[in-house]
A and B are shown apart, each in its own frame.
Chain A
Amino acid sequence: MQNSPDPALPLLEVRGISKSFGAARALQEVDFTLRAGEIHALLGENGAGKSTLIKVVTGVFPRDAGIVRIRGEAIAPRSAKAAVAAGIATVYQEVNLLPNLSVAQNLFLDRQPMRFGIVREGEMRRRAKALLADFGLDIDVAAPLGNYSVAIQHVTAIARAVDLSARVLILDEPTASLDRHEVEILFGIMRQLAKRGIGIVFVSHFLDQVYEISDRITVLRNGRLVGERETASLPRLELIRLMLGRELAETTSARASAGEHRVREVCASFENYGKAGYVAPFNLELRHGEVVGLAGLLGSGRTETARLVFGAERADGGKARVEGAPVRLQSPRDGVRHGFGYCPEERKTDGIVAELTVRENIVLALQAKRGLHRPLSRREQDEIARRYVKMLDIRPPDPERPVGLLSGGNQQKVLLARWLATSPRLLVLDEPTRGIDVGAHAEIIRLIRDLCNDGLSLLVISSELDEIVTYSDRVVVLRDRAHVEELAGEAVDVGNILAAIAADSVAVALEAHT
């Protein structure tokens, strides 16, 4: 074991890493430094570049530029296996082990102790037992891994990774599916490993856990490094500001105040609406001609709220009303029938049908709403497609092009067109500007305002706080899968949102003093 690490020489050094996917720049000159024996949290919202950075460092993706050094020695792994050989092991949220094999077999897969070409089962079990004992686990290593809890599977994965002579251990959201007690066990093991001189990269969106376990924090935003701090000297509010961007100073926004005094009728309302283990019951009123923003960190329950409102997920309690009349929202079909539309965050998997044309993607929801026996004629389809391609400036302006060949921003516009064609009363947009270029970004924000002025009701999720402040009349702030605050009118500004997100009672008290 390489003990007594030379503090001058970092364990893992990443310098100037850049990575693009087509025109989209996922990482731009990112630096990252991991010292031996430290637990280093890597933070950022969805799309900030955390997983891309991990995949570039571990050789899953080739990098466009930059250097990775381990103890001063440059490495360029071409595969995850090569990265392991260089001493970097990764344990992903979804454990990449084989649940049908025994714990021992999983630990020694690909390197079983052999004699005369036969696996020495007894020897393997003995070693497995000894290895896990180091991690405080005393379990039957001959039993299939799948019989054990996710926590034990995680520990097994970590034990395997460390035993493969890892010097750097990357844990990607390791606590997402663990309960409180299991998290404690995992943290105990992490501290023990750190003491042995292993450097641990901890990716998580549970800020409480980050503060509990990590020594230092690196924050990425939009593919760039925005800060590297000692955990102890980084207040929570400051951290959230780093993650979500923008300075508090520029909070007075250019928010359109048009129609501020107009009395708006309620379009849809939700009372005590929620689902156990998904989102805590909430009250929400959506009015015509109004944009309601949903703000909060990743995993705070924003998307979950959107799915409940649309009907993609069934609520287990509460009442929903549309234009005052009680309704049941059991499926997306119900949502569509009541005039709702939903542009999901994952455009590729949940939004577009890549192989079908722009025209077919645009008319899909309208056709589904009309039903099988009332098909839109080809002429009607062409007309609808042409109208929206022109209105939203979809490029290239060819309705017969497979939508999978369009850029992200144009795909987003096609999805918007799909719902606008159904003449909805409520549109739910989940991260409508994610992963699209700057020009299209501004256009979509303008479009949101225009639609709102036309009397549509909009519920918009975004991680970009200054963006949400720009178009929202009200902002609902979420934390830990619950709605914790609703800001309206003058109170809608980045500072208030950040404060609401950060508000532990402690953080609030601290802020009040400063």
Chain B
Amino acid sequence: MTALLPRRGLAQILALIVILAVDRVVSPQFFDLRLQDGRLFGSLIDVLNRGTPVALLSLGMVLVIATRGIDLSVGAIMAIAGAIAASLADTHSLAVVLAAALGAGLICGLWNGFLVAVLGMQPIVATLILMVAGRGIAQLITEGRIVTFSSPDLVWLGNGAILGVPVPVAIALGMLILTGAVVRGSALGLLVEATGGNARASELAGVGTRAMILSVYVWCGVCAALAGVIAAADIMGADANNAGLWLELDAILAVVIGGTSLFGGRFSLVLAVLGALIIQTMNTGILLSGYPPEFNLLVKAVVVLTVLLLQSPKLTGFAGIAARLRRTKA
């Protein structure tokens, strides 16, 4: 259990509690829950529901960042997957729709992974290519229109409920468990952390660093595609221009708030998802408070800065020195 939720998660949990408390102040009904038509409603559920796309993105992003990479194209991959799903939804079964959309995400991930692992391009540049081109591809698929659909299966994916829990939330939870099982159940977690921590040394120890890097970009692509399908199902349509726009930055932020260093190495899936929830809790809180949404960005910046300062080794260093001074005085 300690491996899943390390002690270093304290800063994130505290941050979430503080933000929840603030939300309770600005909106007294924040913790209210009610059951209607077999689905739970309330601000908390809203946070989870709205937070799903970024949470899914962060599941892939955290692995990419652990290998000392970054994936800027996840927003564009969301748009592609959403466009494919929306185009096929009314003519094909849900299985085909999902297979096509996730398959597209997988191919996008392979492309990114190929550029980074095989050609040795810098991740930020390599994924910038698809970030730009991907949105164009999505627009080509939708022929520049907003494609709507009415397939009840796909609509259920965005708006239905399982045992009262919204389907997107259930999917995100399932993906967290699946990713956790794959990463920590196999040797992938250790080998990814070793690759990110010191790629040269890992390679000399016989670790297949290329395969490792390729596979995390593929997984990141698949997670992004799933997020794209859910986002499309939510609004019952695909908007190639705006689906997933700027969400890559939220995903990176979620990972960083979750304590994974952009220099790679140690990572935590649970804390990355927690990071995504922190971001969404803030967004929802500001929305409920009645302040104009422009404040959202500023508040977000302050909270992020605070969480990062709490994690900064320099600051901890200062705290350590202060503690030692106090001890010597005592």
Is there a chain B Cβ closer than 8 Å to A332's Cβ? yes
Contacts of A372 in B (CB 8 A): 186-188, 191
Chain A: interface residue count, which band? 20 to 34
Could you show 10 A-B contacts with beta carbons less than 8 Å apart? A310-B204, A333-B208, A336-B206, A353-B194, A365-B206, A368-B205, A370-B187, A373-B186, A375-B187, A375-B190
Assembled-state Cα–Cα distance A300/B150 (Å):
73
Binds B, one of A121-129, A254-262, A343-351, A474-482: A343-351
Contacts of B197 in A (CB 8 A): 353-356
Contact call A350/B204, Cβ cutoff below 8 A: yes
Contact call A312/B194, Cβ cutoff below 8 A: no
Interface centre among B187, B201, B266 (most CB of A within 10 A): B201
Contacts of A168 in B (CB 8 A): none
Assembled-state Cα–Cα distance A418/B190 (Å):
14
Contacts of A337 in B (CB 8 A): 206
Assembled-state Cα–Cα distance A373/B203 (Å):
18
Q: Which of B174-208 contact A (CB under 8 A)?
A: 185-188, 190-191, 193-194, 197-198, 200-208
Contact of B187 among A310, A344, A367 (CB under 8 A): A367
A sample of 13 more A-B contacts (CB under 8 A), given A337-B206, A367-B187, is A332-B203, A350-B200, A350-B201, A354-B198, A355-B193, A355-B197, A356-B194, A356-B197, A364-B194, A365-B205, A368-B202, A368-B207, A368-B208
Contact call B203/A360, Cβ cutoff below 8 A: no
Is there a chain B Cβ closer than 8 Å to A352's Cβ? yes
Contacts of B186 in A (CB 8 A): 372-373, 375
Contacts of A374 in B (CB 8 A): 187
Known contacts A360-B190, A368-B191; A332/B205 CB under 8 A: yes
Contacts of B201 in A (CB 8 A): 349-353
Contacts of B194 in A (CB 8 A): 353, 356, 360, 364
Interface centre among A312, A344, A353 (most CB of B within 10 A): A353
Q: Which of A53-107 contact B (CB under 8 A)?
A: none
Contacts of B198 in A (CB 8 A): 349, 352-354
Contacts of B202 in A (CB 8 A): 353, 364, 368
Contacts of B265 in A (CB 8 A): 353, 355-356
Q: Which of A324-381 contact B (CB under 8 A)?
A: 331-333, 335-337, 342, 344, 349-356, 360, 363-365, 367-376
Contact of A344 among B188, B190, B204, B208 (CB under 8 A): B204
Assembled-state Cα–Cα distance A430/B164 (Å):
62
Contact call B206/A369, Cβ cutoff below 8 A: yes
Q: Which of A403-423 contact B (CB under 8 A)?
A: 418
Assembled-state Cα–Cα distance A384/B187 (Å):
16
Contacts of A350 in B (CB 8 A): 200-201, 204
Q: Which of A230-245 contact B (CB under 8 A)?
A: none
Assembled-state Cα–Cα distance A368/B212 (Å):
11
> Closest residue of chain A to B200, judged by CB?
A350
Interface centre among A335, A344, A356, A363 (most CB of B within 10 A): A356
> Closest residue of chain B to A344, judged by CB?
B204
The interface bits of chain B over 274-303 (1 if a CB of A lies within 8 angstroms of the residue's CB, else 0) are 000000000000000000000000000000
Distance (Å) between the CB of B218 and the closest chain A CB?
Answer: 14
Contacts of B206 in A (CB 8 A): 332-333, 335-337, 365, 368-369
Contacts of B193 in A (CB 8 A): 353, 355-356, 360
Contact call A367/B190, Cβ cutoff below 8 A: yes
Distance (Å) between the CB of B139 and the closest chain A CB?
Answer: 37
Contacts of A369 in B (CB 8 A): 206
Contact call B190/A364, Cβ cutoff below 8 A: yes
Assembled-state Cα–Cα distance A354/B206 (Å):
17
Contacts of B191 in A (CB 8 A): 364, 367-368, 372
Assembled-state Cα–Cα distance A58/B207 (Å):
41
Distance (Å) between the CB of A356 and the closest chain B CB?
Answer: 6
Contact call B204/A332, Cβ cutoff below 8 A: yes
Assembled-state Cα–Cα distance A349/B198 (Å):
7
Assembled-state Cα–Cα distance A368/B191 (Å):
8
Assembled-state Cα–Cα distance A368/B195 (Å):
11
Q: Which of B134-181 contact A (CB under 8 A)?
A: none
Interface centre among B185, B190, B202, B265 (most CB of A within 10 A): B190
Q: Which of A296-342 contact B (CB under 8 A)?
A: 310, 312, 331-333, 335-337, 342
Assembled-state Cα–Cα distance A367/B205 (Å):
10
List of 3 A-B pairs having minimum Cβ-Cβ separation, nearest first? A336-B206, A353-B197, A368-B206
